[in-house]
Structure formats: structure tokens, C-alpha cells
Amino acid sequence: MSLKIKIFFALLMLTALMFGFAHLFFPEVRYNFERLHIFLFNLCSGGTIIIYFSERKKGLSAKALIFLFLALCYAVFAFMEIYIPAMIISIILALIVESVRIRLFSLLPVQFFKNNEPVSAKFHQASLLCLSCGLVISCGVILNNEYLHFVSMPKLKLDTFFLGFSFPVSLITMSVIFSFMKEETGVVFSALKETGFWAINLGVIIFFIFILFEKLFLQAIIALILFFAVIMIFYLYYLLANALQQKLFLTSGVGFLIVTAVTGIAYIIIEFMPTYDHEHLKWLLWLHTFASLYGWNLCGLAVICRFDDFPVKLHSLPVIILHWITMLIFAPMGKSYGIFALLTLICYASILYFILFSKKAGTKGRKLKG
């Protein structure tokens, strides 16, 4: 990835985080800054990087640039609650993603059911499919909620589905993680890899369904299944992945994912309690969100952006420690206190600089599979 493109994505990711704190500085604005916070990172940055990764080109292709431009338009229209152009753009974006997926894989995702297909490739296709489906579903939700009103459910809200745009980024990170694992691992490890793939994908889909129908107990069960699936993947990665510099960042990313799972389970358990108060537990949701978006997802996107550059001249451990302190302490406190918001932005900008712009150490990284 060229220097100019890395600068652009760094600024876009920094802007995304800035909108996460914008409510502190612009309280009179009636629009939901969280939408820009999520869209600029997950859809605009994450979605475009997924396209870039899938096309295997040195720079952003014309298709990727069109996707990026339309994704930015979509983010602005959704933020401004101008829904007709947002719906039209979401369908165009979905068609772009599908054109990339079909060219790389096939019209129907038959590879999911083939034992000889690398799990990294399955996660890769699942990421593209999830992105296109998410765009189509968000269009349907807008159409229902704003115009048709066919279905009335408390949880059938735009912001609930908008959060789903983080899942394609999670899946592409899983693809990168599995690409580092040894292929010839025996029957048991191969079965565990397949189990991890289906547990993550089906688990999240079922979890979203239970959220819509407000089945709290079933949400807790699926959350526990997802937690153990993540632990199993972490174990596989620890055993089977080669000891490269990228492994440190991705291991840190899986650590953030475990924090995401634990905080999610904790929040569901607390919802069972008679003393449950959503307002008093916002800090837990903030911790959950930052660990997921700017912890776990950032690690995967950063490795993709710099994959051909590894190893890089970087003391990885201090950067990883700064990353954890920033996202688990400064960022959640920044949602309430402006000084911590500014501190978070400074630290986050430093993290992006170290990860994206450290010089090459001279040896290129291995090519990704899938």
C-alpha cells in the first residue's frame, strides 16, 4: 500500500474516532455522531481495505475508489438522516462487493462446504458476503422503519444493524489469522479450524436474531459459545502460527476480542438483575465498543495495510501496551471527559503512526492465503 493511501486511511480512522467524542464538544447537534464514528471506521475504512485485500493490487483500483467514495456519501447521508439516497447507495455498494466476491470465489458460496478449502479463504469470502448482505439488510431496515412500517419491533432499529458493519472487518481479520496457521495440521486441528469457522459465523447470526426478539437468556448462551470459540481459535493460533512480527499484533487483537466477549457476556448477565440501569452501565458498553472496533478490528486492518512491509523497524511491545491502555482506559473515560478524549486521540494518532509508517526492516512478509 502506497504512502499516500496509508496517510489517507490513517486520517480517516482518526476522524472516525474523533466523531466518537464529538457529542462532548457539540452537544447542541441533534444528529447521532455514533453513526459517523462507526461508518467511517467499519464501512469506509474497513470495507475499502477488504476490497483492496481481495483484489490483490498494489494500490486502490477504480472499483475500490468508487466504493470508498460511495461509502463516504452513505455515511454522510445516514448521519444526516437523508435516507432515499442512502438506500440507493447501499444497494450499489452491495453490488460492488458482490462483483469482487464472485470474481474471487463464485456466485454461490459453495466453498463453505468443501473440506479442502482453506479456512482462511472461507473467512475471506464470509467477510465479503457479510458486507454485501449487511448493506442490503440496512437498506431494508431503513425502508421498513422510515416508510413502509410492515414490521414493528423495539430492537429493529437502524443503529442496531449499523453496528453489524464491524462483523465483516472481524471476519477478514480472522482470515488473516488463519492464513498464518500451518495447513498440514492433522484431522483434529483441521476439524477444530472448521468448527471455529462455523461457530463464529452462525453464532453471530443467531445472536443478532436473539437480539431482535429480545431473548436475553438465549443471547447469554450464544455469547458463551462465541467466547469459547474465540478461546479455541486463540489456542490454535498460538500453536500453529509461525513466530513472525505480525503474530504479536494479531495476538494482541485476539486479546481485545476476548475482552469484547467478556464485556458482552457481563452486560447480558447484568441485564438479568433487578437493579439493571442502562445509563449506569454505559461505561461497560463503551469498553466493549472500543475493544472491538479500535482494538481487535484495528489490529487486523493494520496488518493488511502493511503486510508486504513486514518485518518493520518497530518495538512492537511498547506500541501494543500503549494500544491497550488507550482503548481500555483512556477511550471509555473520553466518552465522558473531554481531557481524556483529547488524550485518546493523541495516543491513537501515535499508534497509527507507529504501526502504519514505521520503516521496513528489509525482508518482506509471506503472502497471505485466501
The 10s digit of each residue's pLDDT in 161-194 is: 767 789 999 999 999 999 988 876 788 999 999 9
> CB of 175 within 8 A of CB of 120?
yes
Please report the pLDDT score of residue 364 as a whole number.
46
261/259 Cα distance (integer angstroms): 5
Distance CA 331, CA 198 (A): 32
Is the pLDDT at 315 greater than 80? The verdict is no
Examine residue 168 and state whether it is found in any structural domain, yes or no: yes
Query: 155 or 168, which is more confident?
Result: 168
Does the pLDDT at position 278 exceed 80? Answer: no
Cell 476476548, residue located:
258
Running DSSP on this structure, what letter comes out for residue 112?
Answer: G
In the block, residue with C-alpha cell 483492496: 52
| Local structure of 360: helix, strand or coil | strand
In percent, how much of the chain has pLDDT > 90? 64
User: For 100, how many CA atoms within 13 A lie in the half-sphere containing its CB?
Assistant: 31
194-240: pLDDT as tens digits: 999 999 999 999 998 998 888 989 999 999 999 999 999 999 998 88
Q: What is the mean pLDDT of the chain?
A: 89
DSSP state of 358: P
Does residue 85 lie within any of the structural domains? yes
323, part of any domain: no
How far apart are alpha carbons 154 and 353 in whole angstroms? Answer: 42
The boundaries of the domain holding residue 175 are 31-179
* Residue 36 lies inside a defined structural domain of this protein: yes
- What total of structural domains would you count in the chain? 1
pLDDT at 367: 45
Supply the pLDDT for residue 165. Answer: 86
Is the pLDDT reported for residue 156 higher than 80?
no
Q: Determine, yes or no, domain membership for 73.
A: yes
Average pLDDT over residues 283-309: 89
Query: Which neighbouring-strand residues pair with 360?
Result: 312
In a domain, residue 131? The reply is: yes
pLDDT at 28: 84
Q: Is residue 149 in some structural domain?
A: yes
**C-alpha gyration radius of the chain:** 20
